[in-house]
Amino acid sequence: MKNVLVTGGAGFIGSNFVHYLLKTEPEVNIINLDALTYAGSQENLKDLPTRGSYTFVDGNICDRSLVSSLLKQYAIDTIVHFAAESHVDRSIAGPEPFIQTNIVGTFTLLEAARKFWLDEKGVSGQEVRFQHVSTDEVYGSLNPDESAFSETTPYAPNSPYAASKASSDHVARSYAHTYNLPLTITNCSNNYGPRQFPEKLIPLIILNALEGKKLPVYGDGQQIRDWLFVEDHCEAILAVLKKGTAGETYNIGGENQPTNLSIVQTICDLLDEFKPDPSISPRRSLIDFVTDRPGHDRRYAMNIQKIRKTLGWQPKHTLQDGLRETVQWYLSNTQWVAAIRTQQEYQQWLTQNYTKRETKR
């Protein structure tokens, strides 16, 4: 692994991976390709470690000529593919960008890699790897008594977002099987941590609770998710790149199953501890149960025995420790928060998706 193309490296998980890789792999050369849509920002790429080499390219993964030229120009031997539209609520409101980015974009990258690596032997004699980053949502929803998702769980996506990621997984797997493209797939659970765009649950609740605003909780708040601290995810991906077997899929999770409501309550309690404010405390009083999203999956859970046994990876952060670290990061990075929240598109989305959502009576 010498020259790494990271797609979507200005987004939440991608930017954390860029920080992590430069910190842990001093000889690596990173090319970061990102279209800088609403969820990607150069703010996420400030204060990068000085180790290694880094180049940013503003561009779209659907641009075949651009992708092909980058592979050749930088002799790319590793692609780590994060770039995706990833917010379920946005996919419900407008699914077309999800189809374009998540399916067509992934196909474009795979085709460029196949041609450069396999047909043209662009990095002849050197190992190559395409790492496709996906989600647990491709597996659908679990009942309370069902076993956690494993790598052999049948796909059953329920939202346009999940369906687009499932489609991209299938296309990626077909390239591994049909063309012998050296490829691995990882399906991760809900990520949280520094630099997450504040339309997602955890940063949204942190920032609203800090300011004494209502804390929207969908439905009864009893939806269950597995939460993965983003640096643990980055470490897992690096383990797959270094030790994973081409053609294999690996589930990555945090091994916890709290309800959404309990996550919100924990954040309230942490802010009451870190930033007590008698005028709005206890912050649990700000919780506002609102109309649920259509087709909301009830439960996700991840079985991570494969990656633990074969690659020796397991999460380092407990949920409690990870949430404490995450809340403290947002409290300590007010300039980042201010820069992200000034986006007009972001403010419009909050109004559309949360302000106009009816409170349950």
> Which residues are catalytically annotated?
136-137, 161
- Contact (CB, 8 A) for 126 and 51: no
Residue 84 in tokens: 């995706």
**DSSP SS3 for 81:** strand
Tell how strand 190-192 and strand 227-229 pair up. Answer: parallel
The sign one gets for the Cα dihedral 313, 316, 318, 322 is negative
Distances (CA, A) of 313 to 30, 122, 236: 23, 32, 6
**What is the number of residues in the chain?**
361
Q: 80 pairs with which residues across the strands? A: 6, 131
Q: What is the distance between the alpha carbons of residues 188 and 46, in angstroms, rounded to a whole number?
A: 26
Residue 165 in tokens: 């990621």
Q: Which residue has the tokens 């430069």?
A: 22
Which positions ≥6 away from 65 have C-beta within 8 Å? none
Q: What is the DSSP letter of 301?
A: -
Which positions ≥6 away from 183 have C-beta within 8 Å? 129, 130, 131, 132, 172, 173, 175, 176, 246, 247
Residue 213 in tokens: 């605003």
Which positions ≥6 away from 308 have C-beta within 8 Å? 314
- Contact (CB, 8 A) for 143 and 300: no
Phi, psi angles (nearest 5°) of residue 234: -60, -40
CB burial of residue 100 (10 Å; 0-12, 13-18, 19+): middle
